[in-house]
Each structure stands twice: as structure tokens, then as C-alpha cells.
């Protein structure tokens, strides 16, 4: 199937030029075509590309303190070999089919779409070898092809059945319990790790069993049935498991964390809000998204996964590296399950550069990272995107109204602001084998909202933590003890 020629026009106004940004010591300025005319034949404006060898090093790393954590935890979730693409974003545009208006590349959770929610994500399968069910997704890169160029496109998959399942999961009653892994201290003794991991696994099984019981007994009993028959016994089981975890610390003459306060769980349904942990922000956004969808005419991707303004040959990453890292200022605590995290801003051209991040570089030149330009790499080097996510969590919420305030970036010295805790920082590195002549001809670009016209400033990435608490505990242990773990 032939790909259509994309005729992009990049116009930059004086107002945009005034919006200069300094990042890593390099000023980011708006650029335009030399003669002010529109560019055809799929090539973007030459001002949006730069020879990486002519860029000065600009990456400044915080100086590690004495108690810096240097361990890493790398997850192998493949390279989207199963062809999971869609133009949805359940974090930023939940409930809206084609809410992103550009195509996302997914690894990890197999079910991810506009209607994904905690319950549906938990029930789904994963591409990650260690069983991590987290959702990792970013906009695809395409090469613009002339109309007579034939390339085989990854076909669009019909995910209506999955969407219907996710909507049903969203409407169904569910049990919400306080996260335990994120309440553990930074230093879990090595000799207690096995027992702590075992109990974390038991706790998740207890929640799963309670959810199944609620589903199978809907409509049974009186008004207190769920509390007496499900939530009460669940609390008792959690108290016992949490008590065994505390004993594991005391047995080693360690100060035991107070965990039994985390035993009570809550029902979440149409009449009950569930936990007060920020999840209502996702719920509110879902409701708003569903309502807005009625007023939007979002064209869905065609059979070749092309969208208006986002056409061409999809480039699959040659390398997908998902790595969790420590903090230069000390030890980290676990991320809570179902934490939502955003990197960058897909509408940076419209919203301004506040949340835009420097992402673009070339392999072997990672000390030079660009924010507003695509790199042209020398022979033997490959186009690379490096996405370092925010890593300072407010200690309570898994989401916030703008999907950013609950987890923010550390300062330039790597420190979290008052009231926030350092959690493992996710770094997603994507390496592409884009032919050098394509780079030089300015024929590759990232998918974007149509009005953003493939501005490299809009590169972004999304993550929802659906790791089991057992896996997250292993992750934190690796990071805090300086190990290099790969799963």
C-alpha cells in the first residue's frame, strides 16, 4: 500500500520567536524557511534540523552526593513486535477515541486504549518478560514517502472488543486498597527481602480475590453485605500479612514500619469514591473526555495507521531501553501502583515551552541533547530519543487534575522540593535506524497534533505504573543497593 505524500508547512511567527528558551546552556529560538514560502515534497523546514556534530555539549548532570543511589533496573518489554498502535491517550485524553490525533507506539500492557483504567490494566497481559503490566507509550516517528513508494505498513488492529471490556471494567464495582510497597522504608534488609516480597504477593492476591467476589455476588445480601462479607475479611487478611512484614523487620533488630494502618480497603462504585489518592482525577477526566467526545469529530486512523497530517512509513525503534535509576541525593522509595506520569508536552507549540523537554540526540553524542530540532547524525551514529521522567512524588496521589502536580522534576541539583519524595526515575531511550540520506533530506519527523506540524519541541512520553508491588520492591532494592538488574 502506498503512503501518501505529506506536505507540511512550518511557519514561525515573530511571537513564537520571542518565546526563546534556554535549555542546557543552548538558546532555543523559533526558525523559519529562508524565503518564507511553504515547503513541499514532505521535507520539513531546514531550520528544524541540525548536524549534531556542530552542537556543543549541553548536558549537565547533578553532582552525586555521598549517599547517591547508583543502581539501575532495566525491564525488557520488547519493541512493539505485536504492532500495538493507536491514537489514544488514557492519561492526558482519557475516554476520547483518537484524543491524541497522532499515533502512539506501545510496549508493556497489551490492552492500552482510550478507555483503559486501573482494573482493565491490571487484568491485561503484557509484553514485558518479567510480568510488568505497566503501560509505556510515545508518539511514532515516520519517514515521509512519495506517493509511488511502496512500503508495507503495520496494519490497524480492531480493538473495539477491548474497548468494550475496558468500559465494563470502569463501570464495575472494585476494591481499592492503600499501596504497601511505597510505604516501606528505603532500607529493607536483604535478609527480609524474601519474606517482604512473599507478603506483597499475598496482598495482591487478596485484592484480586476480593474483586472477583464482588463481581460474583453483585445484588446479593443487604446494604452491609460488601462490608461484612468482603471488605471486613479482607482487612483481617491484610492485618495478618502486614503484621508478618513488621515482624520480618523486628526479627533483624530493625525499626519496623507501621503498616497495619494500611489494612482497611474501600469499595469504589457509582455511590462510593474509593480511596482519596488522586484517582478521582482520572475519573473526572474520563467523565469529561466522554462528554467532550460527543462534540468532537476525531477521525480515526486508516487501515495503514495513518491520520490526517500524520502519514508516512512508521519507524520501529531498533532499541527500546526502559531503565529505572536512582537519585543523586539519596535513596528512593517505591512508586505507588497505578501512578500516572507524563514527560514533555504534546502541545508545547500551543502551550509554550514550560513542560517541553530536550529529547533528541544521536548515539555516541548523548552529551548533546536538542529540544527544538531533529538531529542529523554522522555515519555510524543513529537517531535517538532520551526521555527522563519526573521523579519527585507527593507521597499520596497517583494522579492530579493536570496529571503533573503529583509528580514533578527535581531541581538542577537533583533534589526534590519539600513535601516530595524521590522515586525511581524512569528513562526511556529509543534508537532508530533512519537512513542518513533521509535525515539530510529532512524527511523524518515525530507524529503530532495537526496544529503542531511535527515540531520536535512536542516530543513526549507516557507511563502508568502497573507493576506488581513485588516487582516494584525488587526494583527499589536494586536501585538503592547499587545493583545493575535486568529482567
pLDDT in tens, 321-380: 999 999 999 999 999 999 999 999 999 999 999 999 999 999 999 999 999 999 999 999
Range of weakest confidence among 166-170, 224-228, 443-447: 166-170
Domain ranges for the chain, please list them: 46-144+301-486, 174-268
pTM over 0.85: yes
Range of weakest confidence among 7-21, 64-78, 387-401: 7-21
pLDDT recorded at residue 6: 43
Strand order in the sheet with 319-325: 360-362, 383-388, 425-432, 319-325, 72-75, 484-486
> Phi and psi for 32 in degrees, rounded to 5?
-150, 170
| Segments of 226-379 assigned E as strands | 266-269, 272-273, 313-315, 319-325, 340-344, 360-362, 374-376
- List the grid coordinates of 365: 553524542
Structure confidence by residue, pLDDT tens digits, 104-156: 999 999 999 999 999 999 999 999 999 999 999 999 999 987 554 555 667 77
- Residues 6 or more apart in contact with residue 165 via CB below 8 angstroms: 111, 120
Percent of the chain scoring above 70 in pLDDT: 88
Amino acid at each position: 500500500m502506498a503512503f501518501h505524500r505529506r506536505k507540511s508547512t512550518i511557519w514561525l511567527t515573530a511571537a513564537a520567536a520571542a518565546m526563546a528558551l534556554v535549555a542546557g546552556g543552548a538558546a532555543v529560538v523559533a526558525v523559519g524557511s529562508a524565503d518564507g514560502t511553504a515547503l513541499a515534497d514532505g521535507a520539513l523546514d531546514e531550520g528544524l534540523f541540525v548536524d549534531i556534530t556542530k552542537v556543543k555539549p549541553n548536558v549537565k548532570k547533578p553532582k552525586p552526593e555521598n549517599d547517591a543511589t547508583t543502581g539501575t533496573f532495566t525491564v525488557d518489554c520488547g519493541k512493539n513486535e505485536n504492532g500495538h498502535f493507536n491514537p489514544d491517550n488514557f492519561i492526558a485524553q482519557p475516554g476520547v477515541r483518537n484524543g491524541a490525533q497522532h499515533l502512539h507506539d506501545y510496549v508493556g500492557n497489551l490492552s492500552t486504549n482510550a478507555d483503559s483504567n486501573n482494573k482493565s490494566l491490571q487484568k491485561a497481559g503484557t509484553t514485558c518478560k518479567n510480568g510488568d503490566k505497566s503501560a509505556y507509550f510515545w508518539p511514532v516517528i515516520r519517514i515521509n514517502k512519495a506517493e509511488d513508494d511502496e512500503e508495507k505498513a503495520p496494519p490497524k488492529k480492531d480493538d473495539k472488543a477491548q474497548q468494550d471490556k475496558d468500559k465494563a471494567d470502569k463501570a464495575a464495582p472494585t476494591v481499592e486498597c492503600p499501596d504497601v510497597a511505597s510505604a516501606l522504608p528505603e532500607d529493607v534488609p536483604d535478609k527480609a527481602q524474601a519474606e517482604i516480597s512473599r507478603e506483597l504477593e499475598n496482598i495482591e492476591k487478596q485484592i484480586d480475590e476480593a474483586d472477583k467476589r464482588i463481581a460474583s455476588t453483585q445484588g446479593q445480601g443487604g446494604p452491609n453485605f460488601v462490608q461484612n462479607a468482603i471488605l471486613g475479611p479482607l482487612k483481617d487478611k491484610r492485618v495478618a500479612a502486614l503484621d508478618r512484614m513488621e515482624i520480618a523487620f523486628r526479627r533483624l533488630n530493625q525499626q519496623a514500619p507501621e503498616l497495619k494502618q494500611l489494612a482497611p480497603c474501600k469499595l469504589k462504585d457509582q455511590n462510593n469514591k474509593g480511596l482519596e489518592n488522586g484517582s478521582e482525577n482520572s475519573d473526572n477526566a474520563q467523565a469529561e473526555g466522554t462528554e467532550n467526545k460527543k462534540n468532537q469529530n476525531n477521525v480515526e486512523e486508516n487501515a495503514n495507521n495513518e491520520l490526517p497530517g500524520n502519514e508516512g512509513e512508521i519507524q520501529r525503534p531498533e532499541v527500546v531501553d526502559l531503565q529505572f535509576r536512582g537519585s543523586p541525593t539519596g535513596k528512593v522509595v517505591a512508586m505507588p501502583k497505578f501512578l500516572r506520569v507524563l514527560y514533555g508536552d504534546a502541545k508545547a507549540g500551543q502551550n509554550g515551552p514550560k513542560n517541553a523537554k530536550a529529547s533528541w540526540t544521536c548515539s555516541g553524542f548523548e552529551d548533546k541533547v536538542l529540544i527544538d530540532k531533529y538531529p542529523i547524525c554522522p555515519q555510524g551514529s543513529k537517531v535517538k530519543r532520551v526521555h527522563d521522567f519526573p521523579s519527585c512524588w507527593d507521597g499520596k496521589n497517583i494522579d492530579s487534575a493536570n496529571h503533573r502536580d503529583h509528580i514533578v522534576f527535581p531541581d538542577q541539583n537533583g533534589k526534590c522540593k519539600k513535601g516530595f519524595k524521590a522515586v525511581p526515575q524512569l528513562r526511556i531511550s529509543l534508537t532508530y535506524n533512519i537512513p542518513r540520506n533521509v535525515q539530510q533530506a529532512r524527511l523524518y519527523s515525530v507524529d503530532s497534533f495537526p496544529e503542531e506540524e511535527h515540531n520536535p519541541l512536542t516530543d513526549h512520553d507516557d507511563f502508568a505504573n502497573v507493576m506488581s508491588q513485588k516487582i516494584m520492591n525488587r526494583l527499589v532494592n536494586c536501585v538503592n543497593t547499587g545493583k545493575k538488574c535486568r529482567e
